[in-house]
Structures are given as C-alpha cells and as structure tokens.
Amino acid sequence: MANRGEIPIRIFRTAHELSLHTVAVFSYEDRLGMHRQKADEAYLIGKRGQYTPVGAYLAGDEIIKIALQHEVNMIHPGYGFLSENAEFARKVEQAGLIVSGTQAISLSVYHRARYMLVALMTASNHMSSGLFHWSSKTQVQAIVLLISQLLCVLAYYSFLPEADFKSGGSS
C-alpha cells in the first residue's frame, strides 16, 4: 500500500477479511501512523530525512524497490499521490508487479483526455475572443460529450486482457 491515512486502513481491513497479507510503506514522520500499525508488515521509504513527509509517498522507484525486496506481488497506490501517475503504474507493471487500481494505459488515456477536454471547455468559454471559430457553445458541449463517451469506451477496453481488446471485448 503506497499511501497513508484512512484509505490504506480501509484497504487493509478488507484485505484482512479476505485473508490477504498486507505491507505498508511509510515516511519517517509517519512512523507511528495508524496505517503502519494496521498492516502485517511496514517499511520505511528511504532513510530518515531523505524525503519530505509527502515526498516519500511520491518516491515511486523506492516504493517499487521495497515491494520487490519483500516479495510483494501487488501495489495499491491508494488515493492521490501515485494513484493517477501513469509512469508509476507502467514501472510497477515493468517490475512484474500488479497495479491494483487503474492500469498504466488507462491512466495515459485519462490524462490525454483530460487535457483535451480542458482545452475544449476553455475554447467554449473564449468563443467570443476570436481565437476559436465555434458556431455555438452548444456545438462545443456536444463535441465534449462525444469525446467523453469515446473515452469511456477506451477506458473500458483498456481494463480487458490484451486478447479481449484485440477481439473487441468478446471472449
């Protein structure tokens, strides 16, 4: 579990109900944190003073290194910190570990889509500036809706095994 606070505590509780062994990582400043105590094992990220309290939870390479050293097979990034970091998810997968949560490809699609949608919404808000030549704000909103629906389809297929993706989702 690459996070701190209430999210990992809830995940650890569920994992224990499923008889799963849990491992937490923590910053030096969180050494007495509840999430550390609720895990079966807990390991310090880096050395004392090496990272800021928040920086420790963003040290993806260090977290992956700890996971590999302690034979962890899955990393759950929790919420925030590394949970929306496609590069971290990619590195976890490259290390032969499972990313619990959003896969790297889904995160990449999500980030690209978010930038595109922000650009379109910005364009719709600046139609009168002469920078963009949209016929109406409704037209831009329709385009945004169409793109968001397409992204939902892409996100769905990115969660399927590769064989399912190639066959269009049917088994």
CATH class of this structure's domain 6-99: alpha beta
Express each pLDDT in 77-96 by its tens digit: 877 778 778 788 889 989 99
Joined together, the tokens standing for residue 99 give: 């990313």
Joined together, the tokens standing for residue 4 give: 């701190």
pTM over 0.75: no
For the cut 80, the answer to whether the pLDDT of residue 60 exceeds it is yes
Strand partners, 24: 42
Give the relative orientation of helices 104-125 and 86-94 as an angle to the nearest 10 degrees: 170
For the cut 90, the answer to whether the pLDDT of residue 44 exceeds it is yes
Nearest to 94 by CA among 75, 109, 81, 80: 75
Stretch 147-163: mean pLDDT: 58
